Chains A and B, each alone.
Chain A
Amino acid sequence: MKEATELRDEQQMIASILAGESHLFHELIRPYERSVYMMALSFLKSEADAEDAAQEAFLKAYRNLSSFRGEAKFGTWVISITLNEARSRLRRMKAVPMESLDEPPDEEGHVSPALLRDWREIPSESLERREMRHVLQEAIAALPAIYREIFLLRDVEELSIAEAAEVLQITPASVKVRLHRARMMLQKSLAPQLKQMNSKRRWFPWS
């Protein structure tokens, strides 16, 4: 996630903040603004709720900065706080059907991928299209929570297996199993849609 020198800088910054230079907190969190919002959004679905949860997570991080242990990375710690914040908000939203945070019973089962003959049917560079971004967001949002969070941490936030295991309080082996299933579920749901979108391209020269 970070270079060693940046980590040292972070630790110095945290020490300075605790010693009274609180304005440095603005700078400390800048690299994590995006990750925290995204993790919140993946749970709460609404942009306004996600933004509010992100603000709350950063405030909690500030208030509890003295309990941050230097052996974890600050970024990993903030993401853990965000996950807790988002999960507890989700529980409080009584009107919204609860999404189970437990493992679905078929954890050990296989996910069969979508079969296709030519991988070039899946575009890898057409994200300028709003439609494409929407399809990707929907597919990620449709994953069960335990797969969505591991996918976001590893493949979007690029945490290491050990860091993801720490954030989620699960073993590295579970990280690997869940990540595999998450990726296969996405391949299964996205490959047919992306293939179809790609084939539309030649009819719409502006897209």
Chain B
Amino acid sequence: MVLECKHVWDHISGYLDGALDAAVLEQVQKHLEHCEICSAILDSTRNILVLTADDRVYELPLGYSERLHARLEEELSGLKPAKKPTS
């Protein structure tokens, strides 16, 4: 069976996660071998995932960690974590 492009697109995410069934995987791979468009979609999606997974996309505000631990310290020095509810 030959897959059409738009059916291949449905499997791009599963393909990237290595989660496709063997039979589907084989069909998708066959299609990718000769389809430039779908190969480009697959590879561009993969590149976008590489880019967005980079820590530099989201930078923490300057001093975030210090302020967080300072606020926690206020709480920690005043209170112990609550015991299990008694009522």
- Please list the residues of chain A having a beta carbon within 8 angstroms of any beta carbon in chain B: 17-18, 20, 22-23, 25-26, 29, 33-34, 37-38, 41, 47, 51, 54-55, 58-59, 62-67, 110, 112-119, 121-124, 127-128, 132-133, 136-137, 140, 151, 155-156, 158, 176, 179-180, 183-184, 186-187, 190-191, 194
Contacts and interface: CB of A to CB of B under 8 A. Distances in A.
Contacts, number: 153
A180 B10 contact: yes
Interface of B is mostly: helix
Contacts of A151: 52
Contacts of B64: 33, 37, 51, 54
A117 B81 contact: no
Given A116-B41, A127-B51, 10 more contacts: A33-B60, A55-B72, A122-B48, A127-B56, A137-B57, A176-B19, A183-B12, A183-B49, A184-B13, A187-B41
A22 B76 contact: yes
Which 10 pairs of residues, A with B, have the shortest CB-CB distance? A119-B43, A180-B13, A124-B47, A65-B81, A122-B44, A187-B45, A122-B47, A119-B40, A22-B76, A113-B41
A63 B71 CA distance: 13
Nearest to B9: A113
Interface of B: 6, 9-10, 12-14, 16, 19, 36-37, 39-45, 47-61, 64-65, 67-69, 71-73, 75-76, 79-84
B67 A51 contact: yes
A136 B67 CA distance: 27
A34 B50 CA distance: 18
Contacts of B65: 33
Contact of A34 (B19, B60, B81): B60
Given A18-B81, A33-B64, A187-B44, A179 B53 contact: no
15 contacts: A25-B72, A37-B64, A110-B10, A113-B41, A116-B44, A117-B37, A119-B39, A121-B40, A121-B44, A123-B51, A127-B56, A136-B52, A179-B13, A187-B45, A191-B48
